[in-house]
Amino acid sequence: MVCSDKVLRNRILTDRFSPIGQDGPVAKAVWAKAHANLALVKYWGKRDEEHNLPAVGSISLTLAPLATEVRVTQSQCDQILVNGSPVPQPAKKKLVRFLDFARSIAGTEVRLSVEVHTNFPVAAGLASSASTFAALAAALNKFLGLGLDPTRLSAVARRGSGSAARSIFGGFVEWIAGERPDGEDSVAVPIAPSDHWRLSVVIAVTNSQPKRVSSSDGMRLTQHSLFFTAWQKEQEADLTLARQAILRRDFHGLGEIAEHSALKMHALMMAARPALLYWEPATVAVLQRVQDLRRSGVAAYCSIDAGPQVKVLCQPPDQERVIVALSEIGSLSVLVAEPGPGVQVREVCP
């Protein structure tokens, strides 16, 4: 049973943070926190929608301080609040489906109260679904006693959002596409921890509103793009280059492949019929400004996910110059991120 929004809204007014469980015994409460991640070699396209299996492998960098915290308690009906408000459809359906999936593994029907807090714009192409589903997977693992290790947990997080598999781990992470129809081998694995390499990611937020087309819908719409086969064919080579660049701390090597992967993914969206275009005018302005920076000797490279925001990868000594250059563009705000840790989870007072 899912609580109605009206019931939920009344409860928010009276008690925002304590468990919304006056209507049921609260056995315990679990808190978890996970960070967003930036895909350096992008995931785009699914080979199986039901199990959420990717058409290609991908590599990412987990980003602090962009994070989602979740708190799970027992309730009489499923209740979900995101940043203090009832969550609208279709996000609600996706979250409840994920609760059902975790319950089916545990073999329980227990109803849950879930509070989600994200400290950056949600559903805007900044990987909030990655941090949300990674945190939720970890919280449910503990709350329902699933006993999953981090690798198995990444496969569960994947069912909520593909990129969430990577946010289970900190630092540099690969999500292996896998081959099995049941997805058992489609898991995330760490490449190097967050302290392996101090990098900086300057994020130009060009529009913080939720995007019009979700990544899942976008993938479905563009899977028949003229360029999709070429995209799949080149992915292994891109993954190898990125892995090597990370392990050697080769900044130009990593930046070049990351920018190539991002622009190639958007090119395939634009070549679909009808075309999918996530960019804003300021997105193009940032891309051009970063090219200018490179010409003037600043090592900086762009990445863009399913949205209009541009993530600029640079090294800490160049961070200030990148921030100043982006701030001059106007009609955008700037966030700064760095390599972050994997998911954290603990039992808290109900």
User: Of the two residues 73 and 167, which places its CB atom closer to ligand PMV in the complex?
Assistant: 167
Stretch that binds ligand PMV, among 7-15, 159-167, 186-194, 293-301 (CB under 6 A): 159-167
Q: Are 125 and 77 in contact (CB under 8 A)?
A: no
Q: Which of 121, 162, 190, 255 binds ligand PMV (CB under 6 A)?
A: 162
Question: Cβ 53 to ligand PMV, closest distance in Å?
Answer: 12
Q: Which of 8, 39, 144, 168 binds ligand PMV (CB under 6 A)?
A: 39
Task: Tell me how far apart the alpha carbons of residues 23 and 196 are, in angstroms, rounded to a whole number.
Answer: 48
Task: Tell me how far apart the alpha carbons of residues 144 and 165 are, in angstroms, rounded to a whole number.
Answer: 19
User: Of the two residues 19 and 45, which places its CB atom closer to ligand PMV in the complex?
Assistant: 45
Q: Are 118 and 110 in contact (CB under 8 A)?
A: no
User: Of the two residues 3 and 286, which places its CB atom closer to ligand PMV in the complex?
Assistant: 286
Residue 68 in tokens: 């989602």
Task: Tell me how far apart the alpha carbons of residues 348 and 28 are, in angstroms, rounded to a whole number.
Answer: 7
Question: Cβ 170 to ligand PMV, closest distance in Å?
Answer: 16
Question: Cβ 239 to ligand PMV, closest distance in Å?
Answer: 12
> For tokens 């009906």, what's the residue?
77
Q: Which of 18, 119, 208, 216 binds ligand PMV (CB under 6 A)?
A: 216
Neighbours of 119 (CB within 10 A): 14
Q: What ranges in the chain are assigned the alpha helix state H?
A: 5-14, 91-106, 128-143, 150-160, 164-167, 215-222, 228-248, 251-270, 281-295, 319-327
- Residues of span 229-288 touching ligand PMV by CB under 6 A: none
User: Of the two residues 39 and 293, which places its CB atom closer to ligand PMV in the complex?
Assistant: 39
Question: Cβ 350 to ligand PMV, closest distance in Å?
Answer: 31
Residue 329 in tokens: 């563009």
Stretch that binds ligand PMV, among 80-88, 156-164, 187-195, 308-316 (CB under 6 A): 156-164
Q: Contact between 43 and ligand PMV (CB under 6 A)?
A: yes
Name every residue whose Cβ is closer than 8 Å to that of residue 220 and which is 6 or more positions away in sequence: 46, 49
Task: Tell me how far apart the alpha carbons of residues 154 and 134 are, in angstroms, rounded to a whole number.
Answer: 8
User: Of the two residues 78 and 305, which places its CB atom closer to ligand PMV in the complex?
Assistant: 305
Q: Contact between 163 and ligand PMV (CB under 6 A)?
A: yes
Residue 116 in tokens: 């989600």
Question: Cβ 133 to ligand PMV, closest distance in Å?
Answer: 8
Q: Contact between 215 and ligand PMV (CB under 6 A)?
A: yes
- Residues of span 55-94 touching ligand PMV by CB under 6 A: 58
Q: Contact between 42 and ligand PMV (CB under 6 A)?
A: yes
Query: Considering Cα of 326, then 327, then 330, then 333, what sign does the dihedral take?
Result: positive
Is residue 14 classed as helix, strand or coil in its secondary structure? helix
> Running DSSP on this structure, what letter comes out for residue 280?
-
Q: Which of 30, 91, 191, 306 binds ligand PMV (CB under 6 A)?
A: 306
Q: Site for ligand PMV (CB under 6 A): how many residues?
A: 14
Binding mask of the shown chain, residues 94 to 133, with x at each position contacting ligand PMV by CB under 6 A: -----------------------------------xx---
Question: Cβ 173 to ligand PMV, closest distance in Å?
Answer: 11
User: Of the two residues 260 and 321, which places its CB atom closer to ligand PMV in the complex?
Assistant: 260
Name every residue whose Cβ is closer than 8 Å to that of residue 34 and which is 6 or more positions away in sequence: 67, 68, 130, 131, 132, 134, 135, 138, 164, 167, 168, 342, 343, 344
Q: Contact between 207 and ligand PMV (CB under 6 A)?
A: no
Question: Cβ 324 to ligand PMV, closest distance in Å?
Answer: 27
Name every residue whose Cβ is closer than 8 Å to that of residue 36 and which is 6 or more positions away in sequence: 62, 63, 66, 67, 68, 120, 126, 127, 128, 130, 131, 167, 337
The binding site for ligand PMV (CB under 6 A) comprises 39, 42-44, 58, 129-130, 161-163, 215-216, 305-306
